[in-house]
Structure 1
Amino acid sequence: MRLLETPMSVAVTDLMRSRIQNNAMRFSSGTLDGLMINGGGYQGKTETACLTAADFEDDWRELFERYQSHYVDAMPGTRDLIAPIAYCQTPVKATPIGLCEAILDFYGAPYGKNLRGMIRNVRESIKAHATTVLMIDDITRLKMHREDDQDTLDLIRGLMDLDVTLVLIGVNIPRSGLLREGWHDPRTKQWVYAPLKKGKSYNPDASTQTERRFDLVNLDPFDYSSDVGIAAYVDHLVGIENQIRLFNAGPGTLSEGEMPEYLYRRTHGIVGLLRRLVEDGLVKAMESGLEDLTTDLLDEIPINLGNMPGKENQRDAEAGEIPHIDTAPRSKVGKKPKKGRNTVYDDRGTPEAVEA
């Protein structure tokens, strides 16, 4: 099922597109403003950010092809010479070396013999591939009580002087400790903070960077407490049911009757959980021959928030990537078993005589 836009994702897309486009067109000197995308687990932060970045990259490549087509095309068997968007994930146990390896893996570049060489290769790769946006996912895996994590954050800040827009994606960023020494400017609606003074930074530029600015934008789940929120949620369900190809499912399968409230109770309005529940329901509906989605069928489907198979899909529960919500189906209250009849005074007949 394709990812559908929501009012929350549109707000994130508009701000992100405006930020990276303005920074890409900026020719004056100075550190570029960054962006933090905050939200709970399974709310589509990564998908929304990647789709927005991919849309910008298409326009950016088209602009380059008009004037520098020889720079855009890659040689057969090699990586693209130009990579406007770079994406990587923060390692679960973050270290400056681990982050450098994650970035260099994207470019297919050599690691280097030591940390200094790795940092140099990262900076050279970003410049050589004309990267304008560096997206770092799961940023809240950084734990600020660990020295390695502080050094990793200093390394990230040090990359901002490369004319690259940093887009950091994470869960509950304001309470993660990343902005512990910062403050929110109500006038500009931006987070302003200085680098951590604790720990020893391997990045020589980090100590000279005294202030960084990020816009913090939230990607929230659907709100079911207002008429506007309910209407947006139902519209989203209509968009999902339009993709359903079951023989017995028609208009209103997900958006009418008790189904909207049922789906909201099971998923708490979280887009990722809603899509997973519906997709699993579609498979079960086809396998069972029902060819329809009903509450009874969906009750048989648990929503497992544990880690997915494969190391690349592991989620860090400590970083808030697995939401703490109750997604169990509604328990059906059965009839109480009848109390057994007392048989103490039953007449079981005259016992047989025993021969002497």
Structure 2
Amino acid sequence: MVPFLRVGPPPDRTRWEGWQQWREIRETFVPAPRLSLREYSGMSPRRRALHDLHRTATHVNMRLQETPMSRRVSDLMRGRLQNNAVKFMPGTRDGLMINGGGFQGKTETACSAAAAFEDLWRAVHHQLLPDQAPLAGTRDVFVPVAYCRLPVKATPKALCKTILDVYGDPHPNTLDDLIRSVRDAVRDHNTTALLIDDVTRLRLHRGDDQDTLDLIRELMDLNVTLVLIGVDIPHSGLLRGAYIDPHTRQWVFPDVKRGKSHNDGASTQTERRFDMVDLDPFDYSTPTGITAFLEHLAGIEEQLRLFHSCEGMLTTGGMPEYLFRRTHGIVGLLRRLVEDGCTEAITSGEERLTPELLARTSIRLGNLADLDPEAGEVPEIPLNVKPPQQPRKKAGRRPRNTVFDDQGDRPAADG
């Protein structure tokens, strides 16, 4: 078996089994070995083709690098999940909203933080509660983290079915039964964190979307930490009716008082509180921001497997500023540009990234069928960005005309 080739479709994190598969393999990819051009040339044509494929796989599976922005999100999220997980008292748990633009790494940052928490939580349970481990051959009912995406056209029923699909549970027919099944599933599977992605797909001028938002807020009553991920949450309308507590600086949502998803116990519930954390792009206007961007580029450079690459290929000269102008500092666009640039460098034989090569490399975002442009999930791609001009070589000085120079006394002619 070739170690860098995937067998079958990629893991579906919106299903319990797929999430576990992704969690276990997320840091196991082995990059291509570093070979010299001489070693590569000595290979057979078949081995060279296989190595080129391994290099391509390395470039499109670069590890997720931590940035100052993602570190802030991860630290807050891991702390919130751990704090809420060890609370004994019933009641609502403070939630978390992760806000940012499209392709800025919100989903990967949140999923990585949730997976790290689950690694810890499973280890603790295995050590302290070994008798509660599932029996061999039976289904594991312990699902600490559930991840789902809000449907493009959201309704309370559609959201309930999406959550039940995570566990592989059946869908009852009525809304009341669906909500009851969701509550039972979250409790029975001991779910501690529920991540709902693409939450800003809600259009609150529609009654169904308002009812769906009410249902989302009610899910906080399940002793579960609710993590909402979306694009431009402050301007999406999701915070309508909410206010910032001057003491805690948290967003406070009043109790649900309307909507088809309203339940009888809503009037006795406490207010729902969320912290909002922003995942911003890189900033190139301050020394600190420039340093962070250069460190990120150095981390990318270290992972590349191009034969003519060199230290400083992405971090010196006009390259950093050019890469920033091509991507506006958005991590996802930068990653896609480098991936496609490496493919062009291997195909053309240039084997290094230059502004000129990247200038003829378009940023293609791939399949956007599962993204909603109206919700801001597809970022604007900068166009017609010219590469930096190479400094002109100084013309050599013209030699001085020495025709009229005094050459000194000439020897007398022979007599």
Q: TM-score, normalised by structure 1?
A: 0.87
Equivalent of residue 246 in structure 1, options 299, 306, 312: 306
> Could you list the per-position Cα deviations for residues 242-296 of structure 1 after superposition, in whole angstroms to 9, with x for gaps in the alignment?
0001000011111111110000000000111111100111111111111111111
Shift of residue 202 of structure 1?
4.9
CA distance in 2 between counterparts of 1:75 and 1:116 reads 35
For structure 2, list consecutive stretches of 5 or more residues without a partner in the other structure.
1-61, 390-415
Which residue is equivalent to 1:3? 64
Provide the residue aligned with 1:317 in structure 2. Answer: 373
For the pair 1:57 / 2:118, whether they are aligned, the reply is: yes
Q: 2:228 aligns with which of 134, 151, 168?
A: 168
Match of 1:177 in 2: 237
Equivalent-residue separation in structure 1 for 2:239 and 2:317 (angstroms): 45
- SS state at 1:292 partner: coil
8 A contact 1:315–1:322 mirrored in 2 = yes
Partner of 1:71: 132
Per-residue deviation, 1:205: 4.1
Residue 211 of structure 1, CA deviation: 2.2
Task: Flag the 1:158–1:262 CA change in 2: closer, same or farther, 3 A.
Answer: same
- Mapped contact 2:92–2:270 kept (Cα < 8 A): no
Mapped to 1, the partners of 2:260 and 2:333 lie a distance apart of 41
Query: Structure 1's 303 and 259: CA in aligned 2 closer, same or farther, altered over 3 A?
Result: same
Change over 3 Å in CA distance of 1:198–1:175 after alignment to 2: farther
Q: Secondary structure at the match of 2:303?
A: coil
Which residue in the other structure is 1:350 paired with?
none
Q: Map 1:75-224; keep pairs closer than 5 Å.
A: 75-76=136-137, 79-195=139-255, 199-206=259-266, 208-209=268-269, 211-224=271-284
Contact 2:322-2:387 within 8 A present in 1 as well: no
Moved more, 8-17 or 154-163: 154-163
5+ residue gaps, structure 1, are 334-356
Q: Percent identity?
A: 59
For the structure 1 residues 332 and 6, does the alpha-carbon distance in structure 2 shift closer, same or farther, using more than 3 Å as the test?
closer
**Which residue number in structure 2 is paired with residue 277 of structure 1?**
337
In structure 1, what is the equivalent of residue 100 of structure 2?
39
CA contact (8 A) 1:71 1:81 kept: no
The residue type equivalent to 1:256 in the other structure is: T
RMSD: 2.0
Per-residue deviation, 1:158: 1.4
Q: Deviation per CA, 1:8-40, whole angstroms, max 9, x where unpaired?
A: 000001111111100001112321100000000
Contact 2:257–2:266 under 8 Å retained in 1: no
The answer as to 2:364 corresponding to 1:308 is no
What residue is the counterpart of 1:23 in the other structure?
84
- C-alpha displacement of 1:93: 0.4
Determine if contact 1:158/1:205 at 8 Å carries over to the other structure: no
Any idea what SS the aligned residue of 1:242 has? helix
Alpha-carbon distance change, 72 to 325 in structure 1, aligned in 2, over 3 angstroms: same
Is contact 1:137–1:170 with CA below 8 Å preserved after alignment? yes
Matches of 2:329 and 2:107, distance apart in 1: 17
Number of residues of Structure 1 aligned to a counterpart in Structure 2:
328
- Residue of structure 2 equivalent to 1:326: 382
- CA-to-partner distance for each residue in 1:128-176, whole Å, 9 max, x for gaps? 1100000000010111111101111111111111110000000111111
Cα drift, residue 62 of structure 1: 0.6
* Alpha-carbon displacement from aligned partner over 1:275-333 (angstroms, at most 9, x marks no partner): 1100111111111111111111111121235x616x5xx11111111123524443899
- When the two structures are superposed, what TM-score results if normalisation uses the length of structure 2? 0.75
SS, match of residue 66 in structure 1: helix
Q: Which residue number in structure 2 is paired with residue 235 of structure 1?
A: 295
> Deviations 1:205-258 (Å, cap 9, x if unpaired)?
445546211000000000100001001100110001000010000111111111
Q: Deviations over 1:23-77 (max 9, x none)?
A: 001112321100000000000000000000100101100111113224333643x
Q: In structure 2, do the counterparts of structure 1 residues 116 and 196 end up closer, same or farther at CA, with 3 Å as the change threshold?
A: closer
